[in-house]
Amino acid sequence: MQWLYALYIATVNALIVPSIDNEILPVVNNKPVIGVLAHETAGPYMMYGDSLIYSEYVEFLHTGGARVVPIRINESMEYYETLFKSINGVLFPGGSLSLTTSSYAKAGKIMFDLAMQANKNGDYFPVWGTCLGFQFLSFLVAEKNLLTTTNAANLPLPLDLLTPAYRDSQIYGKAASDVIEILQQENVTDNDHHYGLTPEVFAENQKLADFFKVLSTNRDRDGKIFVSTIEGKQYPVWGVQFHPEQSYNWNPEFNWIHTSNAVKVTQYFASFFVDRARRNSHSFPNQESALSAMIESYSRFYLQSLDPFESIYVFNCTKS
């Protein structure tokens, strides 16, 4: 069955529509701003506010040279349309939420639809999904939830990069040889998920196969194979099932890797995505509106008893 999947993926990945990302697009913006989607709080987190963003995603994007603004949930369509015109890319972060009914999903779909319409109109706009964000991208494209259970919580792994797909990709094709070697040989991709997308399910869904290339897979603790990196064939959309930002997470309950090589990989992914955002020319109407929108203007909490060494940005804060 595995050889059949490999043959299918090789065939599907070969049928690549000429991509807007393959064009030589000039850098038009050396002050890129990335929007990070917030998600609703639950359980003990609700004491801080009604929505949050983990600070690792902010630090990740700062590493790549971007500024960060939150994309708040439960806002008006006018809010999302106005914000979209001011930012240069979107990141859908991880979490544990419904892909269909959560406020994260509703706001995320609006931003994804705006991004796809912009790209179709020649307005280059990159999108990134991490863990839940990866799963959310698959849901948006397939228009159904195709996830199955995986045993991959708190599990650092090397990547099983697929040849020749990864060599022909935007995200891995021009990476330095030492970055590729680290990714293939060391446990530097931090997995923390209970659901995933299997190669068989991916191959059987025509919408996914038409939209994305599969660039890497991994095996969970039980040997089940799951897709770990996808890249849009025609549009600048990337999804990773792992957490490249977690080298900035010092929670002692997790096995996250903090070696210099792990940090190098984190910085590579951050720089890759932010460099794509530099190709977008959206901007805030003035400096005042930009400064007020930045993540730094919101409350940040360091959690000690709830999640040791964890920090969050919260919105509609209820704790002083």
Beta carbons of 49 and 299 less than 8 angstroms apart: yes
Instruction: Tell me, yes or no, if 317 is annotated catalytic.
Output: no
CA distance 189 to 5: 23
Beta carbons of 232 and 211 less than 8 angstroms apart: yes
Beta carbons of 311 and 301 less than 8 angstroms apart: yes
Q: CA dist 212 to 35, 79, 148, 251, 296, Å? A: 22, 29, 19, 33, 34
Instruction: Tell me, yes or no, if 258 is annotated catalytic.
Output: no
Q: CA dist 249 to 26, 256, 263, Å? A: 34, 7, 11
Please count the CA atoms within 13 angstroms of the CA of 33 that sit on its side-chain side.
21
- Give the active site residue among 39, 193, 243, 282: 243
- Give the active site residue among 39, 131, 193, 282: 131
Q: CA dist 178 to 182, 217, 265, Å? A: 6, 20, 10
Q: Which residues are catalytic?
A: 131, 243
